[in-house]
């Protein structure tokens, strides 16, 4: 399998060559040259596979420069009952016949990002050791991604994590999750400022090519191809768990922000998994809902981004969206270049009335948005009707999923976080606290390890240099 750029300006590369990179050198996103097709007979056989076996079957089709025995070791090390709470890894909870929740949040940080990030931790360590290299991961987080990355990389050889967070501005639970880690390769840097200040520092450091090369600086953001493909696995797992017969249609509802999770569903569908609809749910930040309803993609300005009670979906643009548009335009990089020139110049593009808009329905996407009141209502409804508590992000997915579902087709709603992570909103809806898993009880009282600094890129650089032998 070779990898290309959505903008056409990168010579074909192998998986391990693109693994540690962010954007392609031409500013595009890295994509595989095709999606391998999986027939129904293969799917039938895959029913018997465990999660790590299924992950291996899917990943080996995209990774052909790591020997299969090594890849098997990596999936077996990653997807354990120890890390994910059960041997099923992503169990399905049936609310009623035809309505299911896919539990993706039983990993170390209680959110779905663990499923890909834990694999990335093992994969990075393996690939770095083989190449005799070290990697210093620099990131900015307002909560979820940072903790998923830290829990994936803690204790890994050849890897250090420098994670910037807005000091004093995360929930006590999120703060404790990150700052209580005592591993010597994890560095929490609390910035006196807001999330944007943290992100600006990451950009400033990354733009210093000399520093970046000298200290082997890398990132693990949501455009990382290995993360995206590792997420395709649980669509297969869920389908095989609930489809009455292989070949029957199943729909998925996905709480969406940067379009990574649902794009993995698109990949599964392109590979031949019989997905009927991919139901995309946004909160008040509805840039993606607007596109799938109207054909108009309009990036929001910073001031237009709403702070909501499902904060992990508060985005102004969707970083993985370019990968979908590449497929939509028939994989013609010139069209992607043309459309992203409009994004950069005019803040977006409008496909309504064009041939591309007529192509869109064949990809199975439908969409909707929800408000804070909708989330509260769904949390109450699901609790009252099924005795189950869901978090606010999952509630976005359920709300839109129930609205858009075809009653004849089973619906799987992806649970992207446990309610314990967003206890305040659950308390508001139900006047009670969600259950906290045993490993996290009392976490707020553990000693914390954080370096607090002003929003100053040079200070962050010195901090990194001092810890990387420079
Ligand atoms: C990251 C995240 C999302 C959004 O996923 P994307 O892949 O960015 O679309 C939704 N819910 C939770 C809880 C998340 O952490």
Of all atoms in ligand 1, which is nearest to the CA of residue 144? Answer: 15
Segments of 141-185 assigned E as strands? 159-166
Contacts 24+ apart (CB under 8 A), 207-212: 208/461, 211/461
Among 144, 229, 314, say which to mutate for ligand 1: greatest number of ligand atoms within 8 Å of CB. Answer: 144
Please work out whether the CB of residue 416 comes within 6 Å of at least one atom of ligand 1.
Answer: yes
Residue closest by Cα to atom 1 of ligand 1: 312
Catalytic residue among 13, 113, 156, 421: 113
Q: How far apart (Å, rounded) are the C-alpha atoms in residues 29 and 22?
A: 8
Please work out whether the CB of residue 258 comes within 6 Å of at least one atom of ligand 1.
Answer: yes
Interval between CA 232 and ligand 1 midpoint (Å): 14
Find the angle CA(95)-CA(52)-CA(409) to the nearest 5 degrees.
Answer: 30
Element spanning 3, H or E: strand 3-5
Tell me, rounded to whole angstroms, the distance of Cα 330 from its chain centroid: 25
Task: Count CB neighbours of 373 within 10 A.
Answer: 8
pTM of the model: 0.96
Q: How far apart (Å, rounded) are the C-alpha atoms in residues 15 and 275?
A: 27
Positions in the chain whose pLDDT score sits under 70: 470
* pLDDT, position 199: 86
Of all atoms in ligand 1, which is nearest to the CA of residue 391? Answer: 13
Q: Are 422 and 170 a contacting pair, CB within 8 Å?
A: no
Among 105, 108, 112, 115, say which to mutate for ligand 1: greatest number of ligand atoms within 8 Å of CB. Answer: 112
With both helix axes pointing from N to C terminus, report the angle between 225-242 and 113-131 in degrees, rounded to the nearest 10: 130
Sign of CA dihedral 225, 227, 230, 235: negative
3-state helix, strand, coil in the chain (%, to 5): 45, 15, 35
Segments of 50-97 assigned E as strands? 92-96
Q: How far apart (Å, rounded) are the C-alpha atoms in residues 254 and 413?
A: 6
* pLDDT, position 145: 85
Q: How far apart (Å, rounded) are the C-alpha atoms in residues 74 and 193?
A: 38
Q: How far apart (Å, rounded) are the C-alpha atoms in residues 26 and 336?
A: 12
Q: What is the DSSP string of 254-290?
A: EE-SSSHHHHHHHHHHHTT--EEEEEEEE-S--HHHH
Interval between CA 415 and ligand 1 midpoint (Å): 10
CA neighbor of 343 nearest in space, from 300, 381, 383, 374: 300
Please work out whether the CB of residue 141 comes within 6 Å of at least one atom of ligand 1.
Answer: no
Average pLDDT, the chain: 95
Of all atoms in ligand 1, which is nearest to the CA of residue 315? Answer: 8
Q: What are phi and psi of 318, to 5 degrees?
A: -115, 105
Please work out whether the CB of residue 336 comes within 6 Å of at least one atom of ligand 1.
Answer: no
* pLDDT, position 82: 96
Q: What is the DSSP string of 381-401?
A: HHHHHHS----HHHHHHHHHH
Domain boundaries, the chain: 92-110+229-430
Whether 461 is a known active-site residue: answer: no
Interval between CA 145 and ligand 1 midpoint (Å): 9
Residue 433 contacts by C-beta under 8 Å, 6 or more apart in sequence?
423, 426, 427
Q: Are 436 and 420 a contacting pair, CB within 8 Å?
A: yes
Among 174, 282, 312, 316, say which to mutate for ligand 1: greatest number of ligand atoms within 8 Å of CB. Answer: 312
Please work out whether the CB of residue 415 comes within 6 Å of at least one atom of ligand 1.
Answer: no
Interval between CA 262 and ligand 1 midpoint (Å): 9
Residue 235 contacts by C-beta under 8 Å, 6 or more apart in sequence?
252, 264, 265, 268, 273, 275
DSSP helix/strand/coil, 240: helix
Interval between CA 314 and ligand 1 midpoint (Å): 9
CATH class of 92-110+229-430: alpha beta
* pLDDT, position 142: 80
């Amino acid at each position: 399998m070779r990898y290309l750029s959505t903008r056409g300006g990168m010579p074909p590369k192998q998986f391990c060559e693109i693994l540690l990179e962010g954007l392609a050198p031409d500013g595009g996103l890295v994509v595989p040259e095709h999606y391998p097709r999986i027939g129904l007979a293969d799917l039938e056989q895959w029913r018997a596979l465990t999660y790590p076996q299924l992950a291996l079957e899917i990943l080996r089709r995209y990774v052909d420069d790591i020997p299969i025995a090594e890849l098997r070791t990596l999936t077996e090390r990653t997807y354990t009952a120890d890390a994910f709470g059960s041997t099923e890894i992503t169990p399905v909870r049936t609310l009623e016949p035809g309505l299911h929740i896919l539990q993706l949040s039983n990993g170390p940080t209680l959110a779905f990002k663990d499923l890909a990030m834990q694999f990335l931790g093992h994969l990075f360590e393996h690939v770095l050791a083989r190449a005799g290299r070290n990697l210093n991961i620099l990131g900015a987080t307002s909560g979820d991604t940072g903790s998923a990355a830290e829990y994936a990389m803690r204790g890994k050889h050849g890897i250090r994590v420098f994670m910037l967070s807005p000091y004093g501005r995360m929930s006590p639970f999120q703060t404790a999750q990150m700052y209580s880690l005592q591993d010597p390769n994890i560095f929490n840097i609390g910035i006196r400022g807001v999330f944007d200040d943290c992100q600006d520092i990451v950009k400033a450091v990354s733009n210093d090519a000399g520093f970046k090369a000298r200290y082997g600086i890398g990132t693990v953001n949501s455009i990382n191809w290995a993360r995206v493909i590792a997420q395709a696995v649980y669509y297969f797992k869920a389908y095989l768990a609930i489809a009455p017969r292989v070949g029957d249609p199943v729909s998925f509802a996905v709480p969406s922000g940067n379009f990574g999770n649902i794009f993995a569903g698109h990949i599964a569908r392109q590979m031949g998994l019989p997905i009927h609809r991919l139901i995309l749910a946004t909160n008040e930040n509805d840039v993606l809902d607007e596109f799938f309803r109207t054909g108009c993609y309009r990036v929001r300005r910073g001031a237009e981004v709403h702070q909501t009670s499902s904060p992990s979906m508060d985005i102004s643009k969707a970083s993985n969206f370019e990968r979908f548009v590449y497929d939509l335009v028939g994989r013609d990089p010139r069209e992607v270049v043309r459309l992203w020139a409009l994004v950069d110049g005019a803040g977006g593009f409008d496909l309504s009335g064009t041939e591309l808009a007529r192509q869109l329905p064949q990809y199975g996407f439908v969409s909707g948005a929800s408000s804070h009141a909708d989330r509260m209502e769904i949390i109450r409804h699901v609790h009252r009707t099924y005795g189950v508590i869901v978090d606010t992000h999952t509630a976005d997915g359920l709300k839109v999923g129930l609205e858009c579902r075809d009653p004849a087709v089973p619906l799987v709603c992806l649970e992207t976080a446990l309610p314990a992570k967003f206890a305040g909103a659950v308390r508001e809806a139900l006047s009670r606290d969600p259950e906290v898993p045993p490993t996290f009880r009392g976490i707020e009282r553990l000693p914390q390890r954080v370096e607090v600094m002003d929003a100053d890129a040079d200070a962050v650089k010195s901090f990194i240099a001092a810890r990387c032998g420079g």
